[in-house]
Each structure stands twice: as structure tokens, then as C-alpha cells.
Amino acid sequence: MKRLDQVLAAEGVPAELELVINDVIVACKDIAFKLRQGELAGILGATEDENVQGETQKKLDVISNDLLKDILVANPYVRGIGSEEEDYTVAGSAAGKYLVTFDPLDGSSNIDVNLSVGTIFSVLEAQDDQSGDNQEVFLQNGRKQVAAGYVLYGPSALLVMTTGNGVNIFTLDTTVGEFILTKSGIQIPADTAEFAINMSNQRFWEPEMKQYIDDCLLGEEGPLGKRYNMRWVASMVAEVHRILMRGGIFMYPYDKRDPSKAGKLRLMYEGNPMSMIVEQAGGASSTGRMDIMDVAPKGIHDRVPVVLGSKNEVAKVVAYHSK
């Protein structure tokens, strides 16, 4: 049974990058422990504050963000960090080689009802000598990522990660406090009959997305020729993990509730890392019109429409948008 550090060494990951990833994981272990304690740790409920996204912060949103921020900005190899919960990027070591972006607690609306949540992270190389508190240094497309992953806090805590050499899954062994490799070489089935989308937003979607979902619901008698099942957990980590395990397609498309926003999910710390994982597992990811990882970010909090999962099903959605 291989530990995370052994797998990273076998993949030839640079020692500095391994230390950055290790610090992310140290924080995630602490988050997992606090989640296991639940109300006993005083982590449930909301604060009186809103984040830069205009979302009310849960207590554990703030705790998780602070855990990750504090450990990473102290790492000598981290130039800076960007977080969903921070208005601006935060500087780390001036000599740091890496940039880390993260969603400290994806699906935090699920905390108080004891459903799955997760942490998503992405690592980039700093391309120039600018300070990490200058967001311009972060504005690279998703193809530049050197590592991406998430930790799913479910019945067991699972780390799913790629450094560009396929996708591995590690399970947290609480007896020793280490993530142990339990699955490797994950491959998403190319075909699926399962989709995940928030149907309550249907009236706001573009016609192309409405038509695709309508055709899914027609089942065997419709143009797609098969019966679909629908799932929705309201946690991107949980949705993507299900796709990795058995196939499927996850969509959070553009909608017209706020035309100034390109989508709901954030490109830098949700769309890009999840797209890297999915593509490394043989799946596909798209905005509906272009690959997510080819989108050029203009700001650290840019939003993007998301369609990802089983390759052939994503291609169908793209075909609807290109008609």
C-alpha cells in the first residue's frame, strides 16, 4: 500500500511541488477532522459575513479558508494563493515557484444537513517575478496547471488528484493519518445515461441547453434514443466523483438571471482543476462552445459555464450548441 508521498515520488514530481501538495493535504486532514466532529466542534451554521461572490459564509467556509491560507502562505515554495473566500490574491514567499488556487469548502450549503462537501485545489507555476498579491501572475489558462485535485469529505475522506500522469484516488487512513493509494488509472466511461443539473434553473437556460435536457427526458422515444437518470447533490466535488466512479455528465450552464456573469462556477478554482482531473481520466470538459481549460482568464474570480464528464455525452451537448 503506497502513501501519497511515495506515489508523487514515483511520478517524478519535483520535491518543491510535493511539499506544496503536502501542505494542502495537511490542511484538508484538519478540515476532515473538524467535519467528523460536526456540531461538537462548533462549525455548523452561517456567519454574518458575505464573501466576494456575494454568498453568505458558513462558519466552516471561513475555518477551511484560514487553514489553507495560513499553511500555504508560510510555505517557501508558494508565491501566492487565490481563494473563493478572499477578495484578492494573497502573497506568499517572494521566491516561491508555485501558485495555489482553491475552493476551501465546495458545497458548503450541505454542511448543516450532513451531506458531502469537499475541497478543490489547483497548482500553477509562477511565470514571472511579480508578487503573489498581484492577480495578473495567476491569469493562466487551465493547460498550465501542474497539479489539480480535490478531497471529498464523505463516509470516508478521499483525495483525488492528478499531476498530469493520470488520476489516482487515495483514502485517508485515520489510524495513521495518511492518505493511502486505493485506486489508480481512473477512466471515465465514454458513454452514459446519467446527467446532473439543477433543473430549478431551467427557465433561465439558453435554448440549446433546454433542448438537450428536453431530449434527455424524452428517453427512448426521443432523438437521443435512451432513457436517462438525473442526479443532483449541490456539491461539484460529489458530482464529479460520481462521474469518475461510473460515468455521467455534470452541467452548470450559463443562465440569464444575471447576464453580466458568464456562469455560476469559478474558472480558476473549480472549472480548471475539475477539467484537468476529468480529462486526465479520459473524459471531456467544455463551456458548451470551447474547452474549459482553453479559456483565458481575465480575473481570479471569473465564472464559466461548465459541462463535463463522459466524453461522448459532452460531445452531444457541444453539438447542440454548435447547431
What residues are designated binding site for substrate?
Answer: 106-109, 198, 264
What are the cell numbers at 196? Answer: 446532473
User: Residue 290 and residue 318: Cα distance in Å, rounded?
Assistant: 8
Query: Cβ neighbours of residue 269 under 8 Å, at least 6 residues apart?
Result: 82, 83, 84, 101, 102, 103, 120, 121, 122
Hey, how many other C-beta atoms are within 10 angstroms of the C-beta on 66?
A: 14
Hey, how many other C-beta atoms are within 10 angstroms of the C-beta on 303?
A: 21
Which of helix, strand or coil describes residue 241?
helix
Q: Annotated binding site: which residue ranges?
A: 84, 103, 105-109, 198, 264, 270
Closest listed residue to residue 240, CA positions, set 272, 206, 205, 199: 272
First to last CA, the chain: 49
User: Residue 16 and residue 93: Cα distance in Å, rounded?
Assistant: 13
Closest listed residue to residue 62, CA positions, set 72, 54, 51: 51
Q: Annotated binding site for Mg(2+): which residue ranges?
A: 84, 103, 105-106, 270
